[in-house]
Chain A
Amino acid sequence: MKIKSQKDFFSGLLFMGLGIAFGWGALGYKLGDAGRMGPGYFPLILGSLMAVLGAVITLKALVGKSEGGDRIGSWAWRPLVFVLSSNLVFGLLLGGLPSISLPPTGLIAGIFGLTIIASLAERRFHSRDVLILAAILAVISYAAFIALLKLLMPVWPAFIAG
């Protein structure tokens, strides 16, 4: 069988999977009945509806009118990996991770880490430009978030600030 719309086919599968997962999870809570709904009642309804809808979307993608295949196209792995991991590194540097006793290194280090890794998402990487950008962002963030808005967060590494 040929898939008529790749996008619909896979989103249908995704919704089906999510619906089943939520519905199955809901069964683990008390269901109750309509007059006295337990915590599992509403999520079970929603999950089941979503799974059914997902199935319909998937089936329609198989039999529906073909419009050039509606292909998903190539994935932008490079930006995806670097943008998201820059974010994770920022969190690690900013707050540390107590479970592996990584001390927080604070906002400024985090900004440099994030900017450098995120910039790798572009094929051309100019190290000088990126460092200047990181420095500018660090100054702006310090001025806006720490000095002006007085948000509470570690700014400098724990071993310096004590």
Chain B
Amino acid sequence: MDLLANLSLGFGVALTPINLLYAFIGCFLGTLIGVLPGIGPVATIAMLLPATFSLPPVSALIMLAGLYYGAQYGGSTTSILVNLPGEPSAVVTCIDGYQMARQGRAGPALAAAALGSFFAGSVGVLLLAAFAPPLMLLAAEFGPAEYFSLMILGLIGAVVLASGSLLKAIAMVLFGLLLGLVGTDVNSGIPRFSFDIPELIDGIGFVVIAMGIFGYGEIVSNLGRSEKEREVYTAKVHGLFPTRRDFKDMAPAVLRGTCLGSLLGVLPGGGALLGSFAAYAFEKKVRTKPDELPLGKGNIRGVAAPESANNAGAQTSFIPMLTLGIPPNAVMALMIGAMIIHNIQPGPQVLTRNPALFWGLITSMWIGNLMLVILNLPLIGIWIKMLKVPYRFLFPAIVLFCAIGVYSMNNNTFDIWMLAGFGFVGYVFIKLGCEPAPLVLGFILGPMMEENLRRALLLSLGDWSTFVTRPLSAGLLATALLFLLVMLSPAVKKKRREAFEE
């Protein structure tokens, strides 16, 4: 069994006491920051990235995996307790989760989210371990034209899943791509759009953009609302553990969610989101037992299914990232950014050059997931207390940690000024109803896309038809086109609006 041998290699790396400790710290910090209302997983991970800088790569990745799960779980906690989704994929969790919280059943809702996520995550890890190596062989067939087309597909996917106007999302992608080009052009060595500012020659830091747009923009927008609107719902939470009945209700929902989530997660462009929406829609179709609360009124299935789907999707979305080095969503883009900081270029070469790291990462995903269940079920009480900290104490702390975080990347105050600039940009985007996630994805892909476009056209001697005459590339582009057409069709358009408004 190759799979077993590989997994045991991974566990050998991940299960050292020191790495377990890092997984624990990552999970703990991720949840701690992730539960803060108004801070989604992207901002959480961006804020905590600097904490991993001084570690060796494997430990850093393990801590990152912990952060990732912690942040995700923290996000579901805020969705359930405060009715405030930290990210789009948690929107549907809010519906039934918040209702459960209002009925004093926040505990079972949180446990359902954690246990469902754990199960889904475990399945996802197995899928990842089984499918990543063969896909990497396929990746070897990829030339620059295929990479370029795949990135187009990924970006279209991100656009399609953004809430709000399709055109605005595409424009945001373009803006992100352009921002990604700021700095020295690798081919000619000419600094582009850098206005003779030495700090811009190296390009704009990814963390600066993520924190400015997601962190500061959100804070300003939160502060702009009246205090009543951001009131935290913290009624008594009693009975943390689900009853036997809850388990019986949620088990099939978790299974269904896991299946949908893992399938849809592989799609480039934020499959996790699609998964959680699809899973919730599916649960709505499943007949409710006579003595069961209807969905939308606090049914545990409405929490378990989308949370499982979300996590399974998050897990399988590592497949395109690890095999092709292409991030399917903003969180993954951040993870890639972090890996690059640690001198690991995700892509097919990771497995061949550094199998211990690859399998260590995969198993540490699972450990991060397990850590979450062990850590968070008993600690739910503490997280709920975190939610009670008034916002006026929280936001200066968040502003501070963002500022220290970006400064520590380069030890340069210029990054702090830029952070303020992107904070302004982020707030403008919120006011104009432009979702920032596509921008971040575009930002990461910008340089890669230009490079592959350049190489593809160099090989074809400037002939653009190379993208449609190579079968793999044509297939990818056709899929992207199909996505767009489906989304533009009036029927789907209406459905989509309903889904996002729900």
Binding site for B on A (CB under 8 A): 7-8, 10-11, 14-15, 18-19, 22, 25-26, 29-30, 33-39, 42-43, 46-47, 49-50, 53-54, 56-57, 60, 70, 72-76, 78-80, 83-88, 90-92, 94-97, 107, 111, 114-115, 118-119, 121-122, 124, 129-130, 133-134, 137, 141, 145, 149-153
Contacts and interface: CB of A to CB of B under 8 A. Distances in A.
A50 B396 contact: no
A15 B175 contact: yes
A40 B463 CA distance: 18
B417 interface: yes
Nearest to A126: B392
B54 A84 contact: no
Nearest to B455: A37
Contacts of A122: 223, 392
A120 to B, nearest CB: 10
A57 B167 contact: yes
Interface residues on B, range: 35 or more
Contacts of A141: 400-401, 404
B223 A47 contact: no
A90 B167 contact: no
Interface string B394-408: 011101110110011
Interface of B: 50-51, 53-54, 165, 167-168, 170-171, 174-175, 177-178, 181, 185, 187-188, 190, 192-193, 216, 219-221, 223-224, 392-393, 395-397, 399-401, 403-404, 407-408, 411-413, 416-417, 419-420, 423-424, 427-428, 431-434, 449-450, 453-454, 457-458, 460-464
Nearest to A95: B413
A149 to B, nearest CB: 6
A11 B430 CA distance: 11
Contacts of B177: 46
Contact of A22 (B193, B393, B404, B411): B193
A145 B408 contact: yes
Contacts of B400: 90, 111, 114-115, 118, 137, 141
Contacts of A134: 396
Contact of A42 (B181, B427, B428, B462): B181
A149 B50 contact: yes
Contact of A88 (B417, B450, B461): B417
Given A22-B193, A35-B457, A87-B416, A15 B399 contact: no
Given A53-B170, A92-B413, 18 more contacts: A11-B432, A25-B192, A35-B458, A35-B460, A42-B449, A42-B450, A43-B178, A60-B167, A84-B220, A85-B420, A87-B403, A88-B416, A90-B403, A91-B413, A114-B396, A124-B392, A149-B53, A153-B404
Nearest to B431: A72
Given A80-B220, A91-B416, A42 B174 contact: no
